Structure 1
Amino acid sequence: MNTIEFNNVWKKFKKGEKFNSLRDTIPNFFKGLFLKNDNSIGTLEDKEFWAVKDVNFHIKKGEVVGIIGPNGAGKSTVLKILSGIHIPNKGDMRIYGRLSALIEVTAGFHPELTGRENVYLNGTILGMKKKEIDERLEDIIEFS
């Protein structure tokens, strides 16, 4: 069974468009919902570009996947769609189970804590129980 499915996903952005706060993001999201029609999904307006265009992949439980490509290929956009930060313009994405997103490698690591303490802190933030962290601790240390 697939754990993650990414089916015909498209995401476009507008150059220069920035959302600095939730107050800015929410109105723009709803504006996009009501002003777009089905014919406009595949077309680009002035200053728009496709960050992700017709991307498909399926990941099975236990698979390890790397997303590689040059700058601007859409790697971070794919991860942000998976984590719910961005919503695709077209296509769909499904996650069966729990997903924990870590976009920045050093995000959430406290410099004054030991490595083990950081593992427990971040595991707890990601919703893991102490028993789960205990069971995976050696694998996490080996991976790091």
Structure 2
Amino acid sequence: MAIPITSIKKNELSPEEIKQQKLAELQSLIAEQDQALNKIFEITGELDDAGIFDALQAMIKAKENLAQIAVDQASREPVTNLINHVLKATGVLSSIDPAVTEKLAIGIKKGLDEAELYRENGEKVGVYQFMMALNDPDINRAAKFGLDFLKGMGKELGKE
């Protein structure tokens, strides 16, 4: 019968042995990935020839100056105005029912398609033809929508 195990000896590697083991793993990895490494070296060589690394190095050295320039540019009035416009427009757009926006967008597209069909015919529209066109239910609906839009916009513009 065997002798029972009373202690476990842990085989600890010395720092030199760990270093040798890691070097062996790295050599194995390099041997397996030689094509990929060759491509990486080729790409980095081309980047260096193009001066990209020099530019990156200069940018890193001047990082504080670049950060200051970026902050100065971002705080200019036109940029802050643009940011404010985007925020306000986003707020307005988010308050509109998406179904209404979709219907309006489809209507605009159909209107542009229709206008493109008759754009080149050269006919002049007279006042009588314009008034008669209002009898067309589609034109009347669009004209009414436009007038209602103008009324709503005018009400808002009249507020202090």
Larger radius of gyration: 2
More helix by share: 2
Superposition TM-score tier, normalisation by shorter sequence: under 0.3
More strand by proportion, 1 or 2? 1
Higher RCO (CA < 8 A, seq sep 6+): 1
